[in-house]
Structure formats: C-alpha cells, structure tokens
Amino acid sequence: MNPLHRRACRTRQRHARIRDHRGMRAPATTEEPAVSGPFALTNATIVTGDADGTVLPERTIVVAGGGEIEQVGPAAETPVPAGYRAVDTTGRFVVPGLVNAHAHLFSDGRPLPPILLNESAQGLVSVFSRSPLGRLLFTRRTRTNVTTQLHSGVTTIRSVGDVAYEVVAVANEIDRGKYVGPRVLASGPLLAVTGGHGAPQIALTSDSPWEARRNTRRNVRHGVKAIKISATSGVTDARSIGQAGRPEMTEEEMTAICAEAHNAGLLVAAHAQGKDGILASLRAGADTIEHGAGMTSEIIDLFRENPRSLNGTSALVPTLQAALPLVKLDRKVTGISDISRANAVMILDEMLQGIRDAQDNGVAIGMGTDSALTFVPHYDAWREMDFLVRYGGLTPAQTLNAATRTNAKILGLDGVTGSIEPGKAADLVVLGSNPLDGFRALVDPQMVITRGTVIDHPSVTRYPDIDAVLDSI
C-alpha cells in the first residue's frame, strides 16, 4: 500500500466512519471515486431551506448510486427500490448541506501567537509559508479543516484567500476520490496592492491594472475556481483608527481583474468594508461583496443589476463572526489593540447596516463564516447563522435559505446543490431537531451526506475554551 493510500485510509477511519451499506463506503483505492451505493432515507422530515421555512414531514429521499437525488416524495407513496439500502430517519430532520461562501483554511480559528501579528515578522512568515515545509504544513491543515467543516454540515466551501495553491491541491484530491471531502471552490492567494489587506501572507500584490491582470492569470493557470480581491483595508491590519474600510485597490485595477476572471468563467469576491470601496468594486464587476457596509442608492442599483458582473447581478456575503467577538468580548480575552477594537466596532456597525439595507432592497444575502480567523473555528457555521438571526435581523428560515439555496445560486451551483430535489447532488445533513427552532441543532449532526457518500456519526475536535467564550456573547 502506498503512503498516500495509507494516509487516506487513516483519514477515513479517524474522521469519516463511512457507513458500509451495500457499497455506501469510501473508495477501496485512491483511484476510485468517492461515491456511495444507492440508498433511501425514509420517514424523514425535510426542512427545505426555502425562505418561507417550509417543512415536509414523512418524506422519503431516494439517492442513486451515482450520488444524485433520484426521488423525493411522501413516504407512503415512495417505495424504496429493490437493492437500495433503507435508512429509517423517523423523528429526524433533513436539511440541504450548508454552503460556506467565505472561508479561509490556513488556520484553525484559535488566537494566533502574537509574533505572527507583528508587522516586522510578517515577511518572514510569508517566506516560510511558501517554502516546501510551509506548503506541506498548510496542505495538511487544509485537509483537516475541510474535513471539520464537512463533519459540521458544510458540504460546499468557497475559499477566499489561501497561502498559495494548497486548497487547489486538496480540492483536486477530493475530486479524484482520495478521501471524502466537501465540494471546494479554491481561490488561491487573494489579489491585493502592495501593503494592502492580506499582503503579503495570503496575497499576490500588484500596483497597476496590467500587474493585477497578470496575477489573475497566474491564479487561473494554477486551477483556481474563484478569485478574491482586497478592495479596502481590513480590521486585522489597520494601523490607525478609521483605516479599516478605506479603499486600496483602484477601480481600474479591479476592472482588469474582473474582466480576466470572467473571461475564465470565474466569479470575483471583493473584500470591501466601506461605501467607496464597495461602489468601486461593483462598478468594476465584482460578483460578491464580502463583509459589506451601508448602501447608497447607486450601490443598491448595482447589486440588483450589474452589467459587468459575470451573471448580471451581485450579492452580499456578510461575515459577522469576523467582528462580533472582537467587539463583544473583553480585550483581555481577545488580546487585540485599542486600534483594532475601534475599527472592529466601526466595521460591525457598517456590516449590520449593510444587511438591513440588503433586506430592505431585495439584495441577495449569502452566508460566510470567515473561518480560520481568530475565534472562528471551522465547526461554527451554525454560530454565523445564529448571529445572522440575533444581530442581523434575518428570520431563521431566511438564514437557512442564505446558507443553502441562496449561496448555491450566488456561486452558480444551484443546478447542482443547495436544495433537496431530484437531479441535485445528495448533499444532506440529518439532525435530531429542527434547525429553524435553533441553529444549535447543527452542533452535532447525526449524519452528513456529501455527493451521496454517507458519513455516519460525524465528529469534530472542539476547543472548549473558545466555545465557552463565544457562548457568552
């Protein structure tokens, strides 16, 4: 057995515990696709993920051997086909697999050592990250972190800022069936200006439209499935109060990036935390605005109809976990500076206003966790959804919709995933209670199904100290 095969087997045994039911198991070799055999979930209560909160009791979901949903219907009228394994889900709730539209995978969400936040050390950290040893380290972290997200109910991930192309490599491994994982749309390094947000640790830098276009082509050549740009500065790297959200990349630079990305059929996500940066991003053709801020009428119009975007509209992906803990928790706990906290307060207020403006004006709202940032573990998609209800003002049904159907549509995957319908991939999460009654139902999924492969009794490694602090919010 070769080393890759041994490692894949250990990963499956330790993390997946794939149900061995008439072929419902991980591949026997690394060359075989990770596809389960045919099965049916019987007597399930389906929480559809539509914005109205529709719940369908006593349903059977039939999944074909290729991993696609074959039938969905009333249990009394939908028999289990011969040769299909029947899994009784009486008393349990089935929801579409979650889609995390804003993820990082380079860290685990615990507070970073202070040395890594030191400006003078960032160059050395960047050099190490791209060394052979650094690539090995971040590839292993990525494998662990995508597995954690999957076991917490996330069956599709869009990364939006990677150290290099380690997430591309892991996504390819999953697609080749080396081990069971979520669907991953990798961005590679984000694109920033010299000294801009994310630079140099997770960014390629440029200072002209042609340099920006070149970096986009470099990412495309490495096989990315998304592009991320830093339109404005951020909280973590702001050096003065009020700096977060200031424009960094010019509209001309972003226009070049969007044109190049769209030519390759890729969506562009823009880190933008201020009105001027958001407006310039949308004018340039950005498909999603990450984090967001209060909106003007021009911004609203461009969200709803954007002639330079890939599909004619743009969407908002707020990430409340990126700012809420920094604002709500004592600085003795977070360890951040007065400057960072003041910027976090400002950005949180703007982000919440952006959510309200989007709701009031029919702008599509997605869900992203900003995982890997401090106090954002990879198993906490449920917490972002909880924050969207308690602080963002969305209803539970609207929030589940944002994390499933709307995110799938935003990412151009609505023909593939995001809902429980015949012809869609069997991306499903089986829960012990209705998540519309509280998203803590997602803390311990009873079963996760990704593209038809069943993970029975999914489990993750938690950080009790971090959880206790976050639960206090």
Rounded Cα distance, 212 and 221, in Å: 14
- Residue 264 CB neighbour total at 10 angstroms: 14
Residue 209's Cβ-side half-sphere holds a number of Cα atoms within 13 Å equal to 11
19 pLDDT band, cuts 50/70/90, is very low
Torsions phi, psi for 204 (to 5 deg): -100, 135
Residue 462 lies in a domain: no
Residues 71 and 15 in one domain: yes
Note down the domain range covering 348.
98-410
Query: Average pLDDT in the 395-408 region?
Result: 98
Residue 335 lies in a domain: yes
Query: Average pLDDT in the 355-383 region?
Result: 98
Give yes or no for a contact between 275 and 296, defined as CB atoms under 8 angstroms apart. Answer: yes
Rounded Cα distance, 107 and 125, in Å: 13
84-114: pLDDT as tens digits: 999 999 999 999 999 999 999 999 999 876 5
Residues 193 and 331 in one domain: yes
Closest CA to 160 of 271, 320, 309: 271
Q: Output the pLDDT for position 66.
A: 93
Residue 103 lies in a domain: yes
Residue 301 lies in a domain: yes
Residue 343 lies in a domain: yes
Closest CA to 158 of 12, 287, 245: 287
Torsions phi, psi for 92 (to 5 deg): -115, 160
Torsions phi, psi for 203 (to 5 deg): -140, 150
Residues 17 and 133 in one domain: no
Rounded Cα distance, 64 and 261, in Å: 35
3-state secondary structure of 242: coil
The CATH number assigned to the domain holding 131 equals 3.20.20.140
The CATH number assigned to the domain holding 25 equals 2.30.40.10
347 pLDDT band, cuts 50/70/90, is very high
Whether the pLDDT of residue 187 is over 70: the answer is yes
Q: Output the pLDDT for position 74.
A: 98
26-75: pLDDT as tens digits: 333 233 333 368 999 999 999 999 999 999 999 999 999 999 999 999 99
Residue 469 lies in a domain: no
Terminal CA-CA length for the chain: 49
Q: Output the pLDDT for position 5.
A: 40
Query: Average pLDDT in the 310-333 region?
Result: 96
Closest CA to 180 of 465, 471, 448, 470: 448
Q: Where are the beta strands (DSSP E) in 166-287?
A: 183-185, 190-193, 203-206, 227-230, 268-272
3-state secondary structure of 125: helix
Please tell me the total count of domains within the chain. 2
Give the tokens for residue 29: 């070799």
Give how far Cα 93 sits from Cα of 148, 350, 453, 459, Å.
21, 35, 18, 18
